Amino acid sequence: MPASIGCADTIVRVTFRMPELPEVEIFKRYLDSTSLHQRIGDVDVRNAYVLKDVTARELARGLKGRRFESSRRHGKHLFVRTDNELWLRLHFGMTGSLQYFKNDKQAPRHARVFFVFANNRRLAFEDQRQFGQIGLLKDVDAFLEKHELGPDALRIDLEEFRKILGKRRGAVKSVLMNQRFIAGIGNLYADEILFHACIHPATEIDRLNNMAFTKLFRATHYVLRKAVGASADAKQMPRSWLLPHRGKGRKCPRCGRKLQSVIVGGRTAWFCVHCQKRGSKN
């Protein structure tokens, strides 16, 4: 999971697997530091699969001659405002990332769309597995409402967290990852959050008592903030975390016992059976 952010004159590369809230926050900072306030001379769509509810012609017509002015992240979505009040929507799917570069020799191999600036620098939307999405819209809040996205995981307090998740049913990990409840958490960080909250990923959420809920909320904010602080780079995350240790035959960084995996909601959860307990109302 290499990540580096440099000044606009250097080759920069930000690549992650399966972007979740921390990765998308790093993409936002990367875009903000490289691509704002420059006139967009052209939009070069190399692979139209990525376009959602917009054609290549409409995308180019909406963006050419304009500038990206600011950006806003919500969960795993990144919205970029232009000076004609349109918003570019980026969703990074499984392998999406951004690269800002100087000339064609530096163009990333799996670039699907290039935003070509008047100074001839380019911002590429790169996406090997082709699950990413690019759209163009006028109203971000209307988009969030239409797609029934919950509030951003880092912008809710304990009361709201409890209110939203407290009435749900199902495995706690599946509930955490459901973007309609709260937005931004995927497979990797859900496991990390549950590891910190000492909760087994398959625990039925209605079995969590008040104290466990508070722990879960604190772990959610702690993990997501700390991951952003570590540039979402596993190598920079604390060794006491689950993330650098996930996988077959690896050991729990807390107790040294072998980690185990279980399928929850169709995804592989890694956890420590000794450190993470199933919740109890008692």
Work out which of 129, 255, 268, 280 binds Zn ion, going by CB under 5 A. Answer: 255
Closer residue to Zn ion, CB minimum distance, 256 or 266: 256
Pick from 152, 187, 146, 144: nearest CA to 17: 187
Helices 210-229 and 21-34: crossing angle, nearest 10°? 30
The window from 45-53, 132-140, 214-222, 265-273 that contacts Zn ion (CB under 5 A) reads 265-273
For residue 84, the tally of other CB atoms under 10 A from its CB is 12
The window from 90-98, 202-210, 233-241, 264-272 that contacts Zn ion (CB under 5 A) reads 264-272
Q: Does residue number 177 form part of the binding site for Zn ion (CB under 5 A)?
A: no
Write down the catalytic residue from 19, 22, 108, 201. 19
Work out which of 274, 277, 278, 280 binds Zn ion, going by CB under 5 A. Answer: 274
* Contact yes or no for 93/133 (Cβ under 8 A): yes
Nearest approach, Cβ of residue 254 and Zn ion (Å)? 4
Pick from 140, 139, 5, 136: nearest CA to 66: 136
Closer residue to Zn ion, CB minimum distance, 66 or 254: 254
Residue 223, sorted as left (phi over 0), alpha (psi -120 to 50) or beta, turns out to be alpha
Nearest approach, Cβ of residue 192 and Zn ion (Å)? 14
Residue 24, sorted as left (phi over 0), alpha (psi -120 to 50) or beta, turns out to be alpha
- String of contacts with Zn ion for each residue 120-159, x by CB under 5 A: ----------------------------------------
Work out which of 78, 177, 272, 279 binds Zn ion, going by CB under 5 A. Answer: 272
Write down the catalytic residue from 67, 81, 218, 267. 267
Work out which of 45, 232, 252, 264 binds Zn ion, going by CB under 5 A. Answer: 252
Closer residue to Zn ion, CB minimum distance, 165 or 272: 272
Q: Does residue number 275 form part of the binding site for Zn ion (CB under 5 A)?
A: yes
Closer residue to Zn ion, CB minimum distance, 89 or 215: 215
Whole-angstrom CA distances from 223 to 15, 21, 28, 60, 71 are: 20, 11, 18, 38, 23
Work out which of 66, 207, 254, 267 binds Zn ion, going by CB under 5 A. Answer: 254
Whole-angstrom CA distances from 90 to 24, 72, 161 are: 10, 11, 26
The window from 119-127, 208-216, 241-249, 271-279 that contacts Zn ion (CB under 5 A) reads 271-279
- Specify whether 76 is catalytic: yes
- Specify whether 167 is catalytic: no
Whole-angstrom CA distances from 167 to 14, 128, 171, 205, 268 are: 38, 38, 13, 9, 25
Residue 174, token pair as written in the block: 């599946």
- Specify whether 19 is catalytic: yes
Q: Which runs of consecutive H residues, i.e. helices, occur in the chain? A: 21-34, 56-63, 140-146, 158-165, 172-177, 187-196, 210-229
- Specify whether 64 is catalytic: no
Residues that bind Zn ion (CB under 5 A): 252, 254-255, 272, 274-275
Task: Kindly list the catalytic residues.
Answer: 19-20, 76, 267
